[in-house]
Amino acid sequence: MKNQEEFVVSVVQSMQDIIVKHGLELMQHYPNDLLVHDKANLMLMATPGAQIAWVVGNMHTHIVNLGLSRQENEAVGYLTNLSSSDQFYLINISSGYRAKFTKLSRDEFENLASTPVSYSMSCGDYSGFWLMRGDTQIGYISVDVTGNYQERIFHGKVRPFEGITELDKVALQHWVNQAIIKISGTLFVRSDTVWEEAIPSRQAA
């Protein structure tokens, strides 16, 4: 099996090949959008079980990790009508780290917003909650705030259960980021996230 970076490099190369096939000018104008930003996001999200929506045009490329939260799914809707020349794909990551690219129509891409969401909060308090996959707890997320009003720092903590999947870990990272955004009320905050020692599976509820 390839390591994560080798796998992501191969996925990005496939994305470049698709860009060339469609005659798009992204790599001439904004190559870092793919080679830096998309690559960094894929390092976090391209794991077995992941479903990734991808839209690419002459001036932009965007990816959305489907099925993690309703808010993330809804991002697909904002990306559907950016440009008439856009191309739409669904990238499925299977076991063994294989990436399958499926070409979609604009309507099919927009419908990805209804992808089933597997994860939910145990309660409505973003400062501390269990993240659930169905009826199963996969980890505990909490957010603390330090500093004064002008210099607040938001500290996310994740304590996963032992034995969860790589996709579960991606979901935990996504939800701790969402919790920080909800509590701070903005995307632009000083924050950090610490992964604490895993909870032994025998303690699972």
| Separation between Cα atoms, residue 186 and residue 56, nearest integer Å | 27
The pLDDT value recorded for residue 7 is 95
The pLDDT value recorded for residue 204 is 47
Residue 40 exposure: Cα atoms within 13 Å on the Cβ side: 4
| Separation between Cα atoms, residue 151 and residue 145, nearest integer Å | 10
Nearest residue to 132 via CA among 113, 145, 119:
119
The pLDDT value recorded for residue 6 is 93
Task: Centre a 10 Å sphere on the Cβ of residue 57 and count the other Cβ atoms it contains.
Answer: 20
User: Tens-digit pLDDT profile for the chain (205 aa)?
Assistant: 468 889 999 999 999 999 999 999 999 999 999 999 999 999 999 999 999 999 999 999 999 999 999 999 999 999 998 899 999 999 999 988 899 999 999 999 999 999 999 999 998 899 999 999 999 999 999 999 998 877 889 999 999 999 999 999 999 999 999 999 999 888 788 889 999 999 997 554 4
For residues 63 and 52, the answer to whether their CB atoms sit within 8 Å is yes
Q: What is the DSSP string of 110-166?
A: HGGGGPPP-EEESSS-TTEEEEEETTEEEEEEEEEEES-STT-EEEEEEEEBTT--H
The pLDDT value recorded for residue 205 is 46
**Which amino acid, one-letter code, is at 123?**
C
Contacts of 107 (CB under 8 A, 6+ apart): none
**Which amino acid, one-letter code, is at 74?**
E
List the structure tokens of 198.
Answer: 């895993």
For residues 73 and 113, the answer to whether their CB atoms sit within 8 Å is yes
The pLDDT value recorded for residue 202 is 57
The pLDDT value recorded for residue 49 is 95
